[in-house]
Structure 1
Amino acid sequence: MGTGTAIAVDPFVASCTLTPRLEAVRSARDFARSTLQGWGLGALFDDVALVASELVTNALRHAIGASADGPGDRLCQVPAQPGRTHPADYRTPIRISLVHRSPQVVCAVSDPSSQGPVAREADFVAESGRGLHLVDSFSTSWGWHPLAGAGKVVWALFDATPEEPTAGRHRRAV
């Protein structure tokens, strides 16, 4: 009998590391779609995709050194460090994880910043600043936790029990 370490793989935990580029938001949505469909929870996709998009966008904008006033290609660039092969390789990558523990699904996005997200006062004329309000509206609850060493994880909880949304309103119970 051999002595080895058995690693259990949980089929209801899925993670994806995202390259800090504009395409990361689309990759996060694609990851959410395929994971939720694999779990038979495709009906949750719209809400989870919206929240995942907002959380990944915030990570790109605030944690990876974003520039909102320049061309799109500069959004995720970080100044080069001497001896580094990639401008962002000294940072913890952005990671999205989905965890299904019936009757809930958690969407979690980790990034290298230790600064917690701050919901701004809603300004419906501004081009940005409403993301965390959307996260709050489309999830059951949300929050964040610092990670050991550096970085944080921002999470959103979703009810995975099927229910019919009320016409003209989002799915969160008021």
Structure 2
Amino acid sequence: MNETTKTAQLPLLREKLFRRDRRSVAAARGFVRGVLEDWGMRALVDDVQLCVSELATNAVEHGVPPGRRFQVRVLAERDLLRVEVHDSGGGRVVVGRPELGCESGRGLLLVGLVADEWGVGEREPGKVVWCEFGLRGREGADRIRGC
């Protein structure tokens, strides 16, 4: 496929459901990698995969009730890539200060350092945790604008 046929009109959206299973974290990373490669955004793959890994892990460990699934959505608009992880569980998202030697509590801190923006939104039932990456000046941005 040549570059001309890869040009897409905005907005671009892909979404996929994953089981409440630790193996789904790797599957979510693979899904996002494939989406970004399809959209010609290879330069973002590592940062976005890191964020998806953290958000999906939190969904599996804290947000998704037994027997339910979580959803990963990837949306590209003019100058923005947004990744959302939706779960149907209760609870609030808390960003804590990890204690020395503790292996948990760093995920959202990492997301905050890597993504340009992140936040939490409500949905019924559950919540959506999202992160955004600005596309201006990044590889692939011109292809999704249709320029």
TM-score, structure 1 normalization = 0.69
Which residue, 112, 131, 146 being the options, matches 1:156? 131
Name the SS for the 2:26 alignment partner: helix
Please identify the structure whose Cα radius of gyration is greater: 1
> Which residue is 1:55 aligned to?
55
Name the SS for the 1:99 alignment partner: strand
> Which residue is 2:22 aligned to?
22
Indicate yes or no: 2:120 matched with 1:144.
Answer: yes
| Alpha-carbon distance in 1 for matches of 2:73, 2:64 | 18
> Which residue is 2:93 aligned to?
117
What runs of 5+ residues in structure 1 fail to find an aligned partner?
1-9, 66-77, 79-87, 165-174
CA RMSD of aligned residues (A): 1.8
| Alpha-carbon distance in 2 for matches of 1:117, 1:35 | 26
Which residue, 78, 89, 101 being the options, matches 1:102? 78
Conserved in 2, the CA contact under 8 Å of 1:28 and 1:56? yes
Q: Structure 2: which amino acid aligns with 1:38? A: D
Indicate yes or no: 2:40 matched with 1:40.
Answer: yes
Q: Which string of whole-angstrom CA distances, capped at 9 and with x for unpartnered residues, describes residues 56-115 of structure 1?
A: 0000110235xxxxxxxxxxxx3xxxxxxxxx1xx3x20000000121100100001232
Describe the shift of the 1:99–1:23 C-alpha distance in structure 2 as closer, same or farther (beyond 3 A): same
Shift of 1:21: 1.0
> Which residue is 1:7 aligned to?
none
List 4+ stretches of structure 1 deviating above 6 A: none
TM-score, structure 2 normalization = 0.81
Name the SS for the 1:127 alignment partner: coil
| Alpha-carbon distance in 2 for matches of 1:23, 1:119 | 24
What runs of 5+ residues in structure 2 fail to find an aligned partner?
1-9, 140-147
Q: How high is the sequence identity, in percent, across the aligned residues?
A: 33
Shift of 1:116: 2.4
Q: Between Structure 1 and Structure 2, how many residues are aligned?
A: 130
| Higher RCO, 1 vs 2 (CA within 8 Å, ≥6 residues apart) | 2
Name the SS for the 2:121 alignment partner: strand
| Alpha-carbon distance in 2 for matches of 1:42, 1:102 | 17
| Alpha-carbon distance in 2 for matches of 1:159, 1:120 | 26
